[in-house]
């Protein structure tokens, strides 16, 4: 073979290289991995592959196009229009599963696709895990993932028997400050529903409401786990105390940035009136 002869790649490999190149040009960071997923999703149909690649080039979240996302060791179905569970949230689900007593009861507020509920249920099959979401599309997606889900605002739609009986309440509620939404990555900013992201002026509107709801849901000694960021924990100190929680523990990432908050509901005597 001389230098001038074209190298004949097997068709699949040629597609992989071509799709990777298109996705990289469209700004996809993990273009090669994404190209592999789109090729698998296309199932060898060139017309379908073109349609899927075009959608990704247009910025649609990969999970909406393939229909699933990896969440820790779990694979979760994600319908187009539903918030895509983030990899870093899996640690919160793991912590929730660890905190549950045998045959415990957990509530996942704002469950979205149900990823957290699914992950808890997979590692703790003895537990009952219940989710809520205000978005009917998210509820349908969570149900398709096998979650016992109720549609409505935070804890409002839950069965009455759940109140005061929960061991763990976990929530990834919308917590992005309204003005910060424009700085999110394109997939989220231009495609994910505002309802899933917008936490109001400082991002804590639903966090505060979730603290209040969790105060009524948890048994004394039960634990609340919330995802949040920046210095949002400061704005939650007073609502946590008022709802009967003890001093919260901050969860930080490897850079020291705030990622989560864990607070225990006090038993009778420690409670503030």
Ligand X SMILES: C[S@@+](CC[C@H](N)C(=O)[O-])C[C@H]1O[C@@H](n2cnc3c(N)ncnc32)[C@H](O)[C@@H]1O
Binding site for ligand X (CB under 6 A): 83, 85, 89, 110-113, 115-116, 132-135, 138, 153-154, 172-174, 195-196, 206
Q: In whole angstroms, how close is the CB of 85 to ligand X at the nearest point?
A: 3
Q: In whole angstroms, how close is the CB of 214 to ligand X at the nearest point?
A: 13
13-23 burial, b at 16+ Cβ within 10 Å, e below that, comes to: eebbeebbebb
Beta-carbon contacts of residue 202 (< 8 Å; ≥ 6 apart): 177, 232, 235
Q: In whole angstroms, how close is the CB of 104 to ligand X at the nearest point?
A: 19
Contact 260, 226 (CB under 8 A): yes
Q: In whole angstroms, how close is the CB of 89 to ligand X at the nearest point?
A: 5
Residue placing its CB nearer to ligand X in the complex, 64 or 83: 83
Residue placing its CB nearer to ligand X in the complex, 154 or 162: 154
Residue placing its CB nearer to ligand X in the complex, 87 or 252: 87
Residue placing its CB nearer to ligand X in the complex, 32 or 235: 235
Which residue's C-beta sits nearest to ligand X? 112
* Rounded Cα distance, 45 and 257, in Å: 44
Classify residue 52 by its DSSP letter: H
Residue placing its CB nearer to ligand X in the complex, 18 or 209: 209
Give the residue from 119, 118, 130 showing the smallest Cα distance to 157: 130
Containing 93, the helix (H) or strand (E) segment is helix 90-99
Q: In whole angstroms, how close is the CB of 96 to ligand X at the nearest point?
A: 11
């Amino acid at each position: 073979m001389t230098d001038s002869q074209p190298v004949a790649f097997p068709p699949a490999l040629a597609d992989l290289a071509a799709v990777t190149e298109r996705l990289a040009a469209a700004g996809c960071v993990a273009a090669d991995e994404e190209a592999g997923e789109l090729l698998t999703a296309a199932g060898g149909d060139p017309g379908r592959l073109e349609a899927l690649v075009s959608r990704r080039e247009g910025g649609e979240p990969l999970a909406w196009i393939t229909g699933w996302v990896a969440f820790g060791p779990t694979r979760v179905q994600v319908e187009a229009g539903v918030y895509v569970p983030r990899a870093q949230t899996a640690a919160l689900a793991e912590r929730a599963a660890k905190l549950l007593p045998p045959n415990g009861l957990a509530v996942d507020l704002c469950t979205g696709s149900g990823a957290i509920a699914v992950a808890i249920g997979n590692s703790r099959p003895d537990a009952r895990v219940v989710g809520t979401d205000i978005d009917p599309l998210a509820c349908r997606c969570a149900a398709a993932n096998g979650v016992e889900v109720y549609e409505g605002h935070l804890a409002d739609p839950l069965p009455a028997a759940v109140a005061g009986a929960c061991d763990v309440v976990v929530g990834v509620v919308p917590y992005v400050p309204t003005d910060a939404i424009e700085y999110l990555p394109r997939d989220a900013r231009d495609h994910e529903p505002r309802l899933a992201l917008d936490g109001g002026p400082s991002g804590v509107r639903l966090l505060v409401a979730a603290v209040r709801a969790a105060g009524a849901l948890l048994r004394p000694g039960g634990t609340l786990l919330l995802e949040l960021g920046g210095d949002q924990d400061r704005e939650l100190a007073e609502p946590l105390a008022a709802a009967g929680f003890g001093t919260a523990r901050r969860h930080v990432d490897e850079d020291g940035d705030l990622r989560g908050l864990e607070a225990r509901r006090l038993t009778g005597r420690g409670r503030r009136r």
